[in-house]
Amino acid sequence: MERYAKGANFERELVRLFWERGWAALRTAGSGSTPRTVPDVLALSKGIVVSVECKSTSREKISLKGAVLSLKEFADIAGGRAYIAVKFPREKPRFYEINHLISRGNYTIGVRDNYLSIDALMGKQTLL
């Protein structure tokens, strides 16, 4: 249960952060327990759709291949932008665009790798 609570708390934190910045956001029901690919968080603002798969780790590196490929399946159908959000210990949420991870062919992220903050992600979205 502790692992579920940690993940759910991270998802709730992201939903709160999106709302605080003027976006509508929600956790999707059953995102880890359905046979279909469903992201953990959906955020919307003025027609912009962002789907987010959340991962939390106590380590300095995390492999995201399964999460990236599952989220890509959803994003190919739904459209919009798709990101993996990672919570490393004692760090703010970090966002990684799935198309970037796919194009580089490496799905392992480390605490020292480049990332987008939530504000950078939103700024990037407003440029579309």
Structural domains in the chain, CATH included, are: 2-126 (3.40.1350.10)
C-alpha span between 57 and 55 (Å, rounded): 7
The pTM (predicted TM-score) of the whole model is: 0.88
Question: Residue 6 class from Cβ within 10 Å (0-12 exposed, 13-18 middle, 19+ buried)?
Answer: middle
Instruction: List per-residue pLDDT tens for the chain, 128 residues long.
Output: 476 666 789 999 999 999 999 999 999 866 555 667 899 999 999 999 999 999 999 999 999 999 999 999 999 999 999 999 999 988 999 999 999 999 999 999 999 999 999 999 988 644 33
C-alpha span between 17 and 25 (Å, rounded): 9
Active site residues: 31
Looking at residue 128, its pLDDT comes to: 31
Token pair listed for 128: 């579309």
Question: Residue 97 class from Cβ within 10 Å (0-12 exposed, 13-18 middle, 19+ buried)?
Answer: middle
Looking at residue 36, its pLDDT comes to: 73
Looking at residue 61, its pLDDT comes to: 95
103, amino acid identity: S
In 3D, which of 117, 78, 116 has the Cα closest to residue 100? 116
8, amino acid identity: A
Looking at residue 97, its pLDDT comes to: 95
SS3 12: helix
